Amino acid sequence: MTTHRAWWKTALGLLFTAIMLFPVYWMVNVSLTRTGDLRSDPPHWFPWEPTFEGYTAVLDQQLPALGTSLLVGLGCVVLTVVIAAPAGYALGLLHLRGGRTLNFLLLVAQMIPAVVMAMGFYAIYNRLGLLNTVGGLIVADSTIAVPFGVLLFTAFMSGIPRELLQAARVDGAGAWRTFWSVVVPLSRNSTITVSLFAFLWAWSDFIFASTLNRNGDLIPITLGIYHYIGNNTTQWNAIMATAVVASVPAAILLVVAQRYVAAGVTAGAVKD
């Protein structure tokens, strides 16, 4: 009876997984389908005569956009960790006044729609001359990742044994020395988790990119795909090939950092 029930659970799991991954398969299928076969009825469920012209278009036209997305993603990671880690340390271990209020404000900040924030950034950047700049886009993307990073670091760091901090103080370490020498090494999983989510948010951002960097010399891949669709609406294989290539870095990061993310997200959830 137990084996029979387990078999049905496995079958349902495979079915749901196939349904969720079908859009990914169709994206790859269309990227390898010739332009003349895209309107076939019934559609081609498998590229019997695959073509790589879409991927050739990606290499010819979208590499600068991929490089820009990589630059924005890494910049967002650095800025997020630099701000969120000390903030989490202060809220979780230094017991600052107003810490609960600040945590509540961070939760509220995550509820604000990105399009609303984009309009505010546009007005500010227009005055400061930061429109159509990579630096301005990094700062805007970081506003999405920083609240999440602060909350995650706070949850983890508040669970660090106080004995370690007291031992550091006995050895003469101040607050900052304790942070760099004790807290940061112990927060590896949380740091990797925050970095991964910050990179993925910046990598997949379209709202800020289309609002703040539409006419920039360096545009991210999401905006590159958007412009590509507008100019070449019939070459869907090239569009899907660009989407496939843009998905590869995110997929690799998720696979490589999976165990760190699992540990980082659950860190601080249970206290002794």
What would the pLDDT profile of 169-206 be if each residue is shown by its tens digit?
888 878 788 888 888 888 888 898 899 999 999 999 99
Residue position matching structure tokens 């600052």: 96
Output the CA angle 223-225-228, nearest 5 degrees: 110
* Residue 178, number of CB atoms within 10 A of its CB: 21
pTM recorded for the entire structure: 0.83
Domains within the chain, CATH numbers bracketed: 58-266 (1.10.3720.10)
State the Cα–Cα distance between residues 206 and 201, nearest whole angstrom: 10
- H or E element in which residue 79 lies: helix 63-93
State the Cα–Cα distance between residues 48 and 32, nearest whole angstrom: 9
State the Cα–Cα distance between residues 218 and 136, nearest whole angstrom: 12
Q: In angstroms, how far apart are the furthest CA atoms of the chain?
A: 76
Tokens of 191: 């740091």
Residue 195's closest CA among 88, 91, 80, 71? 80
Residues making up the chain, counted from first to last: 272
Of all residues in the chain, the percent with pLDDT exceeding 70 is 89
pLDDT of 229 above 50 = yes
